[in-house]
Amino acid sequence: MNKQEKEQYLRDYGTLKSQGKPFFPYAVAKDSAMAIVVMAVIIAMSIVLGAELGPKADPTSTTYTPRPEWYFFFLFELLKVIKPPALVPLATIGVPTICLILLFLLPFYDRGPERRPERRPIATTAGIFVVCAIGYLTYLGAAAGPPTEIDIPIPANVSSQGPEAVANFEAGSQVVAQSGCAACHRFGENGNSGPGPALTNIGARLPAQAIQRTLLNPSAPMPSFSALSEESPKQFAQMVGFLAALK
Q: Please, which of residues 136-175 interact with other proteins by CB under 8 A? A: none
Nearer to other proteins, 55 or 162 (CB): 55
Q: By CB under 8 A, name the one of 87, 93, 154, 210 that touches other proteins.
A: 93
47-76: contacts with other proteins (CB under 8 A): 47, 49-59, 61, 63-72
Q: Confirm if 144 and 65 have CB atoms less than 8 A apart.
A: no
71-90 binders of other proteins (CB under 8 A): 71-72, 79, 88-89
Burial class (CB in 10 A: 0-12, 13-18, 19+), 78: buried
Selected from 4, 60, 86, 115, the binder of other proteins by CB under 8 A is 115
CA distance 183 to 179: 9
Residue of 82, 83, 94, 197 that binds other proteins (CB under 8 A): 94
Stretch that binds other proteins, among 100-108, 139-147, 204-212, 236-244 (CB under 8 A): 100-108
Amino acid type, 41: V
Phi, psi of 98 (to 5 degrees): -65, -45
Residues 6 or more apart in contact with residue 217 via CB below 8 angstroms: 224, 226
- How many residues touch other proteins under the rule CB under 8 A: the total is 88
Hey, which residues does 191 pair with through a beta bridge? 186
User: What's the CA gap between 235 and 241, in Å, rounded?
Assistant: 10
Least Cβ distance, residue 84 to other proteins (angstroms): 14
Q: Is 121 in the site for other proteins (CB under 8 A)?
A: no
